[in-house]
Amino acid sequence: MRSDTIKKGMERAPQRALLNSMGYTGQELNQPLIAVVNSANEVVPGHVHLPKIAAAAKSGIRMAGGTPMEFSTIGICDGIAMNHSGMHYSLASRELIADSIESMVEAHCFDAMVLVTNCDKITPGMLMAALRVNIPTVMVSGGPMLAGEFQDKKVDLSSTFVGVGAVKSGAMTGEELDDLVSKACPGCGSCAGMFTANTMNCLAEVMGLALPGNGTILAISAERERLAKNAGVKVMENLQKGRLPREIITKQALKNALTVDTALGGSTNTILHLAAIANEAGIDFELDMLNEVSSRTPQLCVLSPAGDFRIEDLGRAGGIPAVMKELDKHELIDGSAPAVGSEKIADYYRNALSADGRVIHRIDEPYRDTGGLSILFGNLTPEGAIVKQGAVADNMLQTEGTARVFNSEEEAVKAILENYIQPGDVVIIRYEGPKGGPGMREMLAATSALSGMGLDKDVSLITDGRFSGATKGAAIGHVSPEAAEKGPIAIVEDGDIIYIDITNRKLELKISKEQMDKRFLNLELPVPKINHGYLKRYSRMVTSASKGAILEVE
């Protein structure tokens, strides 16, 4: 066993003394040592209940003959960090999570690990770590939150962001907003729509590193605890078989993830994370692969924020196994890909419920003939930009508009709420990319303000930052190269005409090459917004969004 390095032989007497001091028995130390990586804290709604999930996972490990040892990671709540300086740290925390797990696992020679996770950057950071340390691993999330109810409608966190704009436009009173706030998030769990947290928890299931139900079983249910116990049992089985994460998350697993992601109309952030996960696995990941997959994958689900169904509805309809089963009818899923819960991923969905035709459309009667995500290219974004096309109104799929340029999210939100933005405008928010942000902030406040002001079907938003999974409308993010790397978005001026063709995947700045060249000659970059601490180091090492915003040492 790998853990023998710290517990066997005369030379390891000091290590055994330290282990004894914590009350471990000889029998426990003779068993495999299993890391239980728990991101619980009292700050994040998706994490506040994770001690219970971790305890269940440890029970499963003990039942299967292992000795669990728990340690923690940080976790940032994107919703709480949204639309202020805290959001600079959100994406950047993904690297800290992966690094901290690597440090703990390698320093203490664990034999295997269970990852207890939830929320936006924590799940991908843990998946990156699993591939980096490459010991037998099973992931279990804390599960999604129940939707709230307000004025006889289902609501969630994104409803409150939209509510801010609705109050500004006069469509909602302040008292109604207060009432909405009290009802939107009724309990623990990751926010109730197909936002980044839930999309990544679902994709962990698709990629085979988590068990069926990981993405959709509710946080408050006893079934979630049973899933965690089973994760503890399964990690011991995978240890016995010697099955490693790099054998599970292969190119075929990543293609399966992209397929389900586009069928769900999931968060645009997943492309950042899948690219980073592929990098840790040593797998080539080209953005064009998403367009290839999306062009042949019908969109089967329209979930919040694009529609009215929530994750709880998807779970009742059969969850991710039901989605995969439907996709497999057209051979869009590679069922031979391995999984931690079975020999192959096909076993996850073989006996799943059939599509109900409401929450999960049948593959011959999809919402859309193509998937919910697309990569756009053009002279404004030579390395690509991403859009959740499944959440874009039909009239905005091909449009032309006048640029209104802002160098920060705050400037743009202020302009939107003060009625500066008019139908037909294209809001440009730049210097919010991985380097320029730094940290590539989410623009949910801006897109929600547009929605609340009734402009989401008339105004496009383009940024080198990114969007929350709770975003809807013609929101185009991850524009690469970013402004801080002297990408073309840096030279856009107020009044320029922007051509958007989402159907044909084009994004163009309608000026001549000569004009572009002249503007580049006169371009002066602003001083860094944050030039100290971790983010100073991060901004020097982080790569383009087109590469997953991974860190590279120059």
Listing DSSP states for 69-90 in one string gives EEEE-----HHHHTTSGGGGGH
Q: CA distances (Å), 183 to each of 43, 174, 176, 449, 496, in order?
A: 19, 15, 11, 20, 42
Per-residue confidence (pLDDT) for residue 448, from 0 to 100: 81
Q: What is the dihedral of CA 435, 437, 443, 449, to 10 degrees?
A: -150
> Among candidates 526, 520, 524, 521, which has minimal Cα distance to 539?
526
Residue 466 CA to residue 312 CA, distance in Å, equals 26
**Average pLDDT of every residue of the chain:** 95
Question: Mean pLDDT over residues 378-397, rounded?
Answer: 92
Residue 553: CA count within 13 A, CB half-sphere? 0
Q: 335 exposed, middle or buried (CB, 10 Å; 0-12, 13-18, 19+)?
A: middle
Per-residue confidence (pLDDT) for residue 470, from 0 to 100: 66
Question: Mean pLDDT over residues 509-518, rounded?
Answer: 96
Question: Mean pLDDT over residues 241-251, rounded?
Answer: 97
Q: Is residue 289's pLDDT more than 70? A: yes
The amino acid at 411: E
* Residue count (the chain): 554
- Residue tagged 């290219």 (tokens): 377
Q: Is residue 372's pLDDT more than 80? A: yes
Question: Mean pLDDT over residues 304-323, rounded?
Answer: 94
Q: CA distances (Å), 173 to each of 166, 177, 421, 447, in order?
A: 8, 6, 22, 20
Structure tokens, 185: 């998030």
DSSP 428: E
Please check whether residue 244 is in contact with residue 253, taking contact to mean a CB–CB distance below 8 angstroms.
no
Residue 479 CA to residue 109 CA, distance in Å, equals 41
Please check whether residue 208 is in contact with residue 248, taking contact to mean a CB–CB distance below 8 angstroms.
yes
> Among candidates 193, 248, 201, 260, which has minimal Cα distance to 227?
201
Q: CA distances (Å), 127 to each of 122, 123, 260, 277, 280, in order?
A: 9, 6, 18, 7, 9
Q: What radius of gyration do the chain's Cα atoms show?
A: 23
- Phi then psi for residue 73, to 5 deg, are -130, 170
CA torsion sign, 244 to 245 to 246 to 247?
A: positive
Please check whether residue 154 is in contact with residue 180, taking contact to mean a CB–CB distance below 8 angstroms.
no
CA 208: distance to chain centroid? 17
Question: Mean pLDDT over residues 137-163, rounded?
Answer: 94
Residue 403 CA to residue 278 CA, distance in Å, equals 35
At 397, is the pLDDT very low, low, confident or very high (cuts 50, 70, 90)?
very high
- pLDDT, tens digit, for every residue of 221-234? 999 999 999 999 99
Residue 253 CA to residue 337 CA, distance in Å, equals 6
Per-residue confidence (pLDDT) for residue 393, from 0 to 100: 86
- pLDDT, tens digit, for every residue of 541-554? 999 999 999 998 65
Q: What angle do CA 421, 425, 428 make, to 5 degrees?
A: 85
Exposed e or buried b for every residue in 475-500, given b needs 16+ CB within 10 A?
Answer: bbbbbbbbbbbebbbbbbeeebebbb
Q: pTM of the entire structure?
A: 0.94
- Phi then psi for residue 355, to 5 deg, are -55, 135
Query: Which residues have a catalytic role annotated?
Result: 468
Strand partners, 461: 427, 475
Q: What separation, in Å, do the N-terminal and C-terminal C-alpha atoms of the chain show?
A: 36
More confident: 59 or 1: 59
- pLDDT, tens digit, for every residue of 34-87? 999 999 999 999 999 999 999 999 999 999 999 999 999 999 999 899 888 899
- Phi then psi for residue 362, to 5 deg, are -70, 150
Structure tokens, 152: 């006889």
Q: Is residue 306's pLDDT more than 90? A: no
Q: 52 exposed, middle or buried (CB, 10 Å; 0-12, 13-18, 19+)?
A: middle
Structure tokens, 392: 């874009």
At 396, is the pLDDT very low, low, confident or very high (cuts 50, 70, 90)?
very high
Structure tokens, 253: 């697993």
